[in-house]
Each structure stands twice: as structure tokens, then as C-alpha cells.
Amino acid sequence: MVSMKPNMAKGMVTSNTEIEAPRKTVMKKVDFADELMKAGGVYINKCVQCGRCTASCPSGKHTAYRTRMIIRRAMAGFRDEVLASDDIWLCTTCYTCYERCPRGIDVVKVIQTLRNMSIRVGGMLPAHRAVALNLYKTGHAVPLDPDNKEKRLKLGLPEIPPTVHSSSIALSEVHELLEQAGFLDILETALMKQIRVRPPEEGLFL
């Protein structure tokens, strides 16, 4: 029996088993790039890994989020890892990366597409789930809180502004729109399939 260890260390192919591995990797890569293309219309394999997106990302300055790394992992076909990653939820959609990418890749659309896929496997972060629930419950992603009600009164304004907050009819219209758009089904899936055990931050849910 021939030992494969010495040649593997040099990156050489010595058996059918070893030949299979890189082929599978290439297929995986093409599959996920195509899946992203079909879902979001952006072809990530144009990326040359220059890192301009990471260098200009304001979110990455304060977190471990590295835009180029997400694109790289997606290109390499690490579908499950990318969809389960917290990082894709840290993008603020400021579009700086899109403006600076030398390959014209709409990185924001890639991230949004990845989020849409991630939601379906329960990858949505608790804070984002809370915002989505707020939207359904109040018609506002960031609803009025007691502090702001007090400030409004001090300024001589009505405690409740003339928005969905003050209209049950408008809120029922919001519900109808969200239901017709399938928003609740998607949110329910996200809540049922939570792949994270971390509980939602206290006070985020209304």
C-alpha cells in the first residue's frame, strides 16, 4: 500500500480519492455562485479579492465583519457557513463598497440576497427579528417609546404623532400589505428555525 502523506504535503495528486476532492470543491463553488446569481442577480465570481470593500466598510471598523471575506467564502461555496454567519447582518447598507468596487459588484445586493436566504434557515439575528416584529405590531420598525412621547409633550406636540401609531385603520392596512407580501410566513420561518440559541436582547420586543 502506498502512503499518500508525502505527496499530499506537496499538493500532488496520487490517487483517485485525492482527485475527487478538488473537483467537488469546484462544483460547490459554481453551484453557490449560480444560486446567488439566480436569487439576487449579482455574479460574485467577478470579484478579484482586492479588499476595497473591506477597507471602506464603516461597520467593519467596529466589528469583525470583513466584506471581502464573506464574498470569498461565498465564492468558495461555503453556503451553510455564510448563511449562518452573524457578519451578514452587520452591514448597514451604506453602499460605500458598491461605489468603490473596481469590478462593479453590487455587494449590498449580495448581502441582502444572503440575508434573504439566511432567514429561511433561521439565521436572522435577534435584533433584526425584533425590528421585523415591531413593524408588524406597530407599523414602525422603530416605534415611539415613552421617552420620545414625553419629549413630544414638552415641545408642545401631540403625544402620539399622526402616523400609523394613531390610526388603527392604517395599521390594519399595514397588516394586509405585509400578509400579502408573505412577510409573516417568512418571519414565522425565521422564528421557528432559529439556528442561534442566543435570546433576544431584553426590551427589544414590544
Within 10 Å of residue 64's Cβ, how many Cβ atoms? 9
Closest distance of CB 92 from ligand SF4, Å: 4
Closest distance of CB 161 from ligand SF4, Å: 29
Closest distance of CB 111 from ligand SF4, Å: 6
Closest distance of CB 86 from ligand SF4, Å: 14
Residue 163 CA: distances (Å) to CA of 12, 179, 183: 67, 20, 21
CA–CA gap between residue 193 and residue 118 (Å, rounded): 10
| CB-nearer residue toward ligand SF4: 70 or 164 | 70
Q: Which residues bind ligand SF4 (CB under 6 A)?
A: 47-53, 56-59, 67-68, 71, 91-97, 101-103, 105, 107-108
| CB-nearer residue toward ligand SF4: 9 or 64 | 64
| CB-nearer residue toward ligand SF4: 59 or 118 | 59
Q: Which amino acid is at 93?
A: T
Burial 79-103 (b: 16+ CB within 10 A, else e): beebbebebbbbbeeeebbbeebee
